[in-house]
């Protein structure tokens, strides 16, 4: 994290704690926020310099630290930090875009991250071919039988759950109901490495 944002980082993390804690939870939530700060600093150090204003950074950081205080899993915090660092390196950074992505990312389970990564690994279709079931068929072939996805029903279960995020939608085809990734998943893939998160 570059120096101009260190005061903002400290101030926002402190405000999150002060706003939602009582004395009995201070140590627990301080530990969560400290862990989130460490994750964010590591991600920021790997990326490009932040180009956002302090005001814009404060809004995004508040959303990030609030998620940490609520107990979002470390894997999800790391994805949120990666998304924030990617967006903050753009001159046209919009805090609302980060908040929308952060809400979706915070709620993802490990199984959903694995399935999203499989959708993104699907090879490109031939020019002129637009089969909406292409990525779903690829994901099923690659994941079916693995521990988190013992059968087709489990894959359908997790894909159905993912519809709440907008990253995938159900798509009726002649062979039944399949799922297809949306532009929202493409946008997410520009910000974070889901493949890395799925390997953990």
pLDDT digits (tens, 9 = 90+) for 73-112: 999 999 999 999 998 888 888 788 888 899 999 999 999 9
Query: What pLDDT does 1 receive?
Result: 47
pTM of the model as a whole? 0.83
Taking residues 139-154, report their average pLDDT. 92
The count of other CB atoms within 10 Å of the CB of residue 164 is 11
- According to DSSP, residue 90 is labeled S
DSSP string, 142-185: HHTTBTTB-SHHHHHHHHHHHGGGTSEEEEEETTEEEEEE-HHH
For residue 185, what are its two tokens? 């998943």
Query: Where does residue 143 fall: left (phi above 0), alpha (psi -120 to 50 degrees), or beta otherwise?
Result: alpha
Between 2 and 139, where is the model more confident? 139
Beta bridge partners of 170: 179
CA-to-CA distance for 32 and 142, rounded, in angstroms? 35
């Amino acid at each position: 994290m570059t120096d101009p944002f260190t005061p903002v980082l400290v101030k926002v993390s402190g405000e999150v704690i002060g706003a939602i804690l009582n004395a009995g939870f201070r140590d627990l939530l301080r530990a969560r926020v400290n862990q989130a700060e460490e994750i964010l600093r590591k991600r920021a150090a790997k990326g490009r310099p932040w180009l956002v204003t302090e005001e814009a950074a404060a809004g995004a950081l508040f959303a990030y630290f609030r998620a940490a205080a609520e107990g979002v899993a470390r894997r999800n915090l790391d994805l949120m930090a990666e998304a924030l660092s990617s967006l903050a390196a753009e001159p046209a950074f919009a805090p609302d875009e980060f908040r929308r992505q952060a809400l979706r990312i915070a709620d993802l389970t490990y199984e959903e991250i694995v399935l999203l990564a499989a959708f993104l690994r699907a090879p490109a279709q031939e020019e002129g071919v637009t089969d909406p079931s292409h990525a779903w068929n690829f994901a099923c072939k690659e994941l079916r039988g693995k521990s988190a996805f013992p059968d087709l029903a489990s894959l359908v279960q997790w894909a159905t759950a993912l519809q709440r995020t907008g990253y995938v939608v159900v798509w009726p085809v002649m062979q039944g109901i399949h799922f297809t990734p949306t532009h929202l998943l493409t946008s997410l893939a520009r910000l974070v490495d889901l493949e890395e998160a799925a390997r953990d």
